[in-house]
Amino acid sequence: MGDLWSGLTQAFWLVVTLDKELVEISWRSLRITLSALVLASAIAMPLAAFLAVRRFRARRAFIAVMNALMGLPPVVVGLVVYVLLSRSGPFGVLGLLFTPTAMIIAQIIIIVPLIASIAHQSLRDLWQEYHDLLISMNVTQWQKMKTLLWDARRALLTAALAGFGRAIGEVGAIMIVGGNIDHATRVLTTAIALETGKGNFALALSLGFVLIALAVAVNLAIHWLGRTEREGRW
Amino acid sequence: MSDMFPLKVTGAETTRRGKRLVGPIDLTLDGQGTCVVIGPNGSGKTTFLRLLHGAARLAGGEIRWSCPLEDARHDQAFVFQSPVMLRRSVLDNIAYPLLMRGTARAEAREAASNWAARVGLGGMLSRAATVLSGGEKQKLALARALIAEPKLLFLDEPCAALDGRAMREIESILSQAAASGTRLILSTHDMGQARRLASRVVFLLHGKVHEAAAAEQFFDHPETPQARAFLNGDIVE
Amino acid sequence: MIRKFLITPLFAILAMSSMAQAQDVMKLAVTTSFHNSGLSDVLLPEIRKDLDLEVQLLVVGTGQALKLGQEGDVDAILVHSRKAEEAFVADGFGTHRREIMYNDFVVIGPGEDPAGIAGAADAGDALARIATQQSRFVSRGDDSGTHKKERALWQAAGVDPDAAGAWYNAVGAGMGAALNTASGMNAYILSDRASWLNFGNKGDLALLYSGDPVLLNQYAYLPVNPELHPHAKSDLAVALEDWLTSERAAALINEYKINGETLFTFNAQ
Ligand SMILES: Nc1ncnc2c1ncn2[C@@H]1O[C@H](COP(=O)(O)OP(=O)(O)OP(=O)(O)O)[C@@H](O)[C@H]1O
Ligand SMILES: [Mg+2]
């Protein structure tokens, strides 16, 4: 209880005094996760739309695998990315291990199945609604996908936010592939793990509160952006 | 572009899980004007229209247009019994078919607002289509179907949700379209409307064409007792 | 709108990544116990000042540090496990091994000391008393340098921890996490002095035994072999070695104190 309280007050002071390291770490967390989110969405959403409009033999199996991958253990993802990016691994020449890029790659792998699954659910429902009309209009596969993606954009925002939530709070994978290097790959979650290891529970907790606040702030900001849309009525 | 008609339907049928919903149907449609499909609930009107349109899978038989299928599909539009509203504004819904055909945005919107005015939706261009009333949705669907200037337009009970005045407005738009060369195939339960619009009638019963004839002949001298009963408003077995 | 929203951060990211640091950067794998000592927080800024070199620390266990060096994922390692280090050099993964400094291990335990190790004759005797009393003991259990040291001590005490009962708890975690566990269980634990002094969650734990020469903990610096890994920044590794063995480093290391206690003794040749 004492730790909780001193964590809260410490978090408060860290934020109001704009503690230099806190700002640096938070900004890095945000930057890495938002990059991963943008890239993962660019992969997952067209994939979800494709799965909604296109029937092919392995489709059901594909969707089942995708849903299962939502529960992918981040540590395993981290390990696999680590082995691939290590200097003695297949992509070693790129020298990406222990860089923010490696962390972005790991986060993308973790959240693509999540975003794609959630997006697919809403796109599939919308497709049922639109099916007759779009078939009757004889539009191309690509046009169907674009129409679905555009008209379901608010549901897709929810999918993206779920991905953001998972990525920003993730620690296992990015600890492994990023190495938690001070001033290079240390982010909020890995800093929390580090401080916990040192027994600095209050500081760890205060970082935790900042992390939560950041996640809430991003969610609110995105919802606000969504609401200011001209056609934002459904 | 070559003409789509005459359309020859031979032994066409559609099935669902082995059960035949409609067919086998033999029919030839040609010339201009409006073909009205009538029949009791569940007789297969909707399925028949969808089958001709290519939206229901042909399980047997043949549907042959006088032009390549690609061209025929390109020049058709369909107004569904319960219209599908895209989650967009009224204007964007009506402009949608043009945009899909590569028309420039400004031009498509211009045409869409003209059509909206024609069907009486001019005052609600920026409203979300999903919140429209049932009748307004029907009108939107009609405008959206006509904007691409189809050669053939299917209408599945287009006036079912409309009041008398709106029905007259729609009918006049349909007559204009028919006069300017659009072939109409529509289903209806309103015999008054059928008499006003039809140049030819197809009477469906139990998924089969029970009687098909020119409008005057059908309404004045129906050949089968079932058609006579149906026109009288009696129960048809 | 959404497109705009998606694209803006992308540009921000691109702008950020082009702000690459002008100075040299190298990667050094160190053990948790070294990092927990806080000495790196003193040395790294000085290195940056003197050499215009940013040393990025990968804080891992000894086993993983050696592995990182072996695979060429870091440019040098700083660890404390002599046998493993010599094997590392013998196998050609490192160019050589340079001793830098030492600190010592201490035995931590509940303040009331149920096993009475405070009066032990030597480190082996202290552990033997814990085993006899079957007092709870927390082991790192992660194959780290500290863990290896602990195993050696048990062997000297004539106790086989693998055959020990429920009082022996291998947690498979870093020094800090293991100390947290010991604090929670009020158990004995072997720790390096620095980690203990910097540990923030001591609870009822106290430093009970230290001073046996067998508890000394030698740190050595091993640059990665550039013949094996051409991308390794061996010139920077050499520069860092020169600095770490310099008079300046000696002064900084010997004067580093926590709560008034000296932690490290510089002994580079
Ligand atoms: N997808 C389907 N699966 C199973 N049965 C179907 C399906 N579609 C239509 N049917 C059945 O086929 C028959 C014809 O249906 P259809 O919708 O064509 O009738 P309709 O003449 O349009 O009726 P209404 O006047 O009520 O609109 C009905 O008995 C209906 O239940
Ligand atoms: Mg029907």
Which of B185, B152, B182, B154 has its CA nearest to residue B75?
B152
Structure tokens given for A38: 């943008």
Residues A147-163 as b or e (16 or more Cβ within 10 Å = b): bbbebbbbbbbbbbbbb
Q: Which residue has 């029919």 as its token pair?
A: B27
Tell me the domains of chain A and their CATH numbers: 2-7+19-233 (1.10.3720.10)
d(CA A199, CA C178): 10
Q: Which residue has 């997952």 as its token pair?
A: A44
On whether both B155 and B219 belong to a single domain, the answer is yes
Question: Do C26 and C78 touch, CB atoms closer than 8 A?
Answer: no
ipTM: 0.86
pLDDT at position C20, please? Answer: 45
Residue C26 has pLDDT above 60, yes or no: yes
On whether both B76 and B92 belong to a single domain, the answer is no
On whether both B63 and B111 belong to a single domain, the answer is no
Structure tokens given for C32: 């948790």
Residue B84 and residue A233: Cβ atoms within 8 Å? no
Which of A37, A54, A53, A78 has its CA nearest to residue A166?
A37
d(CA A190, CA A172): 8
Nearest CB to C36 within list A35, A198, A222: A198
Q: Please state whether beta strands C216-223 and B60-64 pair in parallel, antiparallel, or not at all (unpaired).
A: unpaired
Closest atom, ligand 1, to C-alpha of B49: 18
- Which one has a higher pLDDT value, C5 or B82? B82
What distance in Å separates residue B56's CA from the closest CA in chain A?
10
Question: What does the mean pLDDT of chain B come to?
Answer: 88
Structure tokens given for C131: 């085993």
Q: Residue A208 class from Cβ within 10 Å (0-12 exposed, 13-18 middle, 19+ buried)? A: buried
Q: What is Dmax (Cα atoms) for chain C? A: 75
d(CA B212, CA B61): 19
Find which of B53, B76, B87 to mutate to test the A interface (most A CBs within 10 Å of its CB).
B87
Preceding amide of B24 cis, omega within 30: yes
Question: Do C72 and A87 touch, CB atoms closer than 8 A?
Answer: yes
On whether both B113 and B162 belong to a single domain, the answer is no
DSSP-based three-state secondary structure for B156: strand
Model confidence band, residue C14 (pLDDT cutoffs 50, 70, 90): very low
Work out the average pLDDT over B16-39.
84
Closest atom, ligand 1, to C-alpha of B189: 25
Amino acid (one-letter) located at C44: L
Of B64-73, C150-159, C165-174, the poorest mean pLDDT is in B64-73
Give the binding-site residues of ligand 1, using a 6 Å CB cut-off.
Answer: B 16, 21, 39, 41-47, 81
Residue C71 and residue A184: Cβ atoms within 8 Å? no
Q: What angle do helix axes B134-146 and B105-118 make, rounded to 10 degrees?
A: 130
Angstrom distances, CA of residue B72 to CA of A59, B6, B28, B144, C192? 31, 12, 16, 18, 83
Q: Which bound ligand lies closest to the C-alpha atom of B204?
A: 1
On whether both B210 and B164 belong to a single domain, the answer is yes
Model confidence band, residue C51 (pLDDT cutoffs 50, 70, 90): very high
* Number of structural domains found in chain B: 2
On whether both B144 and B124 belong to a single domain, the answer is no
d(CA B186, CA B183): 10
Whether B236 is in a domain gets the answer no
The percent of residues above 70 in pLDDT, for chain C, comes to: 92
Residue nearest to atom 17 of ligand 1 (CA): B46
Residue B185 has pLDDT above 70, yes or no: yes
Whether B147 is in a domain gets the answer yes
Work out the average pLDDT over A184-206.
88
Helices and strands (H and E) in chain B: how many: 9, 9
Q: What is Dmax (Cα atoms) for chain A? A: 66
Calculate how far, in angstroms, residue B101's C-alpha sits from the geometric centre of ligand 2: 29
Q: If you ran DSSP here, which 8-state letter would residue A185 be given?
A: T
Question: Do C167 and C216 touch, CB atoms closer than 8 A?
Answer: no
Q: Which CATH number characterizes residue B218's domain? A: 3.40.50.300
Calculate how far, in angstroms, residue B27's C-alpha sits from the geometric centre of ligand 2: 20
Whether B115 is in a domain gets the answer yes
Residues B209-227 as b or e (16 or more Cβ within 10 Å = b): bbbbbebeebbeebeeebb
Which of A223, A111, A231, A97 has its CA nearest to residue A170?
A111
DSSP-based three-state secondary structure for B101: coil
Question: Bridge partners of C219?
Answer: C101
Model confidence band, residue C19 (pLDDT cutoffs 50, 70, 90): very low
d(CA A197, CA C132): 30
On whether both B70 and B175 belong to a single domain, the answer is yes
Of A97-101, A173-177, B205-209, C218-222, the poorest mean pLDDT is in B205-209
pLDDT at position A3, please? Answer: 74
**Cα dihedral sign for B227, B191, B154, B137?**
negative
Amino acid (one-letter) located at C262: T
On whether both B23 and B113 belong to a single domain, the answer is no
Whether B206 is in a domain gets the answer yes
On whether both B107 and B200 belong to a single domain, the answer is no
CB atoms under 10 Å from CB of C7, counted, come to 11
Whether B237 is in a domain gets the answer no
Question: Bridge partners of B27?
Answer: B9
d(CA C66, CA C83): 12
On whether both B113 and B13 belong to a single domain, the answer is no
What distance in Å separates residue B50's CA from the closest CA in chain A?
9
On whether both B49 and B73 belong to a single domain, the answer is yes
Model confidence band, residue A131 (pLDDT cutoffs 50, 70, 90): very high
Residue B1 has pLDDT above 50, yes or no: no
Residue B87 and residue A234: Cβ atoms within 8 Å? yes
The percent of residues above 90 in pLDDT, for chain A, comes to: 64
d(CA C175, CA C192): 8
Work out the average pLDDT over B10-31.
84
Amino acid (one-letter) located at B72: A
Tell me the domains of chain C and their CATH numbers: 2-102+217-266 (3.40.190.10), 104-215 (3.40.190.10)
Question: Do A119 and A63 touch, CB atoms closer than 8 A?
Answer: no
Calculate how far, in angstroms, residue B73's C-alpha sits from the geometric centre of ligand 1: 23
Which of C156, C161, C165, C215 has its CA nearest to residue C190?
C215
On whether both B28 and B125 belong to a single domain, the answer is no
Model confidence band, residue C21 (pLDDT cutoffs 50, 70, 90): low
Model confidence band, residue B2 (pLDDT cutoffs 50, 70, 90): low
pLDDT at position A8, please? Answer: 82
Calculate how far, in angstroms, residue B208's C-alpha sits from the geometric centre of ligand 1: 13
Q: Where are the beta strands (DSSP E) in A48-186?
A: none
Residue A228 has pLDDT above 70, yes or no: no
Residue nearest to atom 26 of ligand 1 (CA): B41
Measured between beta carbons, which residues in chain B are less than 8 angstroms from residue A135? 55
Residue A139 and residue B128: Cβ atoms within 8 Å? no
Angstrom distances, CA of residue B138 to CA of A13, A140, A186? 61, 25, 58
Question: What does the mean pLDDT of chain C come to?
Answer: 88
Structure tokens given for A78: 């981290």
Whether B168 is in a domain gets the answer yes
Whether B162 is in a domain gets the answer yes
Contacts of C207 (CB under 8 A, 6+ apart): C106, C107, C108, C196
User: Residues B57-99: pLDDT tens digits?
Assistant: 888 888 888 888 888 888 889 999 888 999 999 999 999 999 9
Last residue of a domain, one of B104, B131, B158: B131
Model confidence band, residue C115 (pLDDT cutoffs 50, 70, 90): very high
- Residue B73 structural domain: 7-85+132-231
Residue B194 has pLDDT above 50, yes or no: yes
**Cα dihedral sign for C113, C119, C120, C123?**
positive
What distance in Å separates residue A136's CA from the closest CA in chain B?
6
Angstrom distances, CA of residue C119 to CA of C113, C209, C210? 10, 8, 11
Closest atom, ligand 1, to C-alpha of B50: 18
Q: Flag whether residue B59 sits within 8 Å of chain A, measured between CB atoms.
A: no
CB atoms under 10 Å from CB of B122, counted, come to 13
Residue B74 and residue A151: Cβ atoms within 8 Å? no
pLDDT at position A1, please? Answer: 59
Nearest CB to A200 within list C58, C200, C231: C200
Last residue of a domain, one of B103, B131, B159: B131
Provide φ and ψ at C220, rounded to 5°.
-135, 155
Work out the average pLDDT over B143-153.
91
Choosing from B46, B79, B82, B202 the residue with most ligand 1 atoms within 8 A of its CB, the one to mutate for a pocket test is B46
